[in-house]
Amino acid sequence: MGEALYRDVSIVEEVSGCLLCNNAPCTKACPYGLEVDTIIRSIRFENSLGAAARIPDPVPCADCRTKDCMRACLKKRINRPVSIDEIILNAASYEKVVLGDVDLSIEFCGIKCENPFFLSSSVVGSNYEMIAKAFEMGWAGVAFKTVGTFAAKEVSPRFEALRKEAVPFIGFENIEQISEHPLEENVLHIKRLKKDYPDKIIIASIMGQDEAEWTYLAKLMTDAGADIIECNFSCPHMAANGLGSDVGQNPELVAAYTRAVRKGTHLPVLAKMTPNLGNMEIPAMAAVEAGADGIAAINTIKSIIKVNLDSFASAPEVKGKTSVGGYSGKAVKPIALRFIQSMKNCGALKDIPVSGMGGIETWKDAAEFMALGCENIQVTTSVMQYGYRIIQDMIEGMKYYLYTHGYKNVSEIVGRALPQVVSPENLDRSSICYPKFDKSKCLGCGRCYLSCYDGGHQALKQEAITGKPVLIAEKCVGCHLCVTVCPVNAISQGVRVIKKLEPELCKAQ
Position 182 scores a pLDDT of 96
Position 492 scores a pLDDT of 97
Confidence of residue 239 (pLDDT cuts 50, 70, 90): low
Position 3 scores a pLDDT of 62
* pLDDT exceeds 60 at position 506: no
Per-residue pLDDT of 79-91, as tens digits, reads: 999 999 999 999 9
The alpha carbon of 140 is separated from its chain's Cα centroid by a whole number of angstroms, namely 17
The answer to whether residues 223 and 255 touch, using CB atoms and an 8 Å cutoff, is: no
Residue type, 160: E
Q: What is the DSSP letter of 499?
A: P
The answer to whether residues 206 and 179 touch, using CB atoms and an 8 Å cutoff, is: no
Per-residue pLDDT of 312-358, as tens digits, reads: 999 999 999 999 999 999 999 999 999 999 999 999 999 999 999 99
* pLDDT exceeds 70 at position 503: no
Q: Which of 69, 235, 442, 448 does the annotation list as catalytic?
A: 235
- The larger pLDDT score, comparing residue 3 to residue 5, is at 5
Total residue length of the chain: 509
Position 119 scores a pLDDT of 98
Residue type, 494: G
Q: Mean of the pLDDT values across residues 103-115?
A: 98
Provide the mean pLDDT of the chain: 94
Q: Mean of the pLDDT values across residues 76-81?
A: 95
The pTM of this model reads 0.95
Question: DSSP for 215-265?
Answer: HHHHHHHHHHT-SEEEEE---TT-SSTTSTHHHHT-HHHHHHHHHHHHHH-
Q: Nearest 5°: phi and psi at 163?
A: -120, 160
* pLDDT exceeds 70 at position 58: yes
- Please list the alpha-helical segments (H only) found in 64-144: 68-72, 84-92, 128-137
Q: What is the DSSP letter of 115?
A: S
Confidence of residue 1 (pLDDT cuts 50, 70, 90): very low
Confidence of residue 244 (pLDDT cuts 50, 70, 90): confident
* Rounded Cα–Cα distance for residues 224 and 189 (Å): 9
Position 99 scores a pLDDT of 95
Position 326 scores a pLDDT of 94
* pLDDT exceeds 60 at position 509: no
> Domains of the chain, with CATH numbers?
2-92 (1.10.1060.10), 106-420 (3.20.20.70), 428-508 (3.30.70.20)
* Rounded Cα–Cα distance for residues 500 and 509 (Å): 14
Per-residue pLDDT of 437-482, as tens digits, reads: 999 999 999 999 999 999 999 999 999 999 999 999 999 999 999 9
The most distant pair of C-alpha atoms in the chain lies apart, rounded to whole Å, by: 80
* Rounded Cα–Cα distance for residues 211 and 264 (Å): 10
Active site residue 374: no
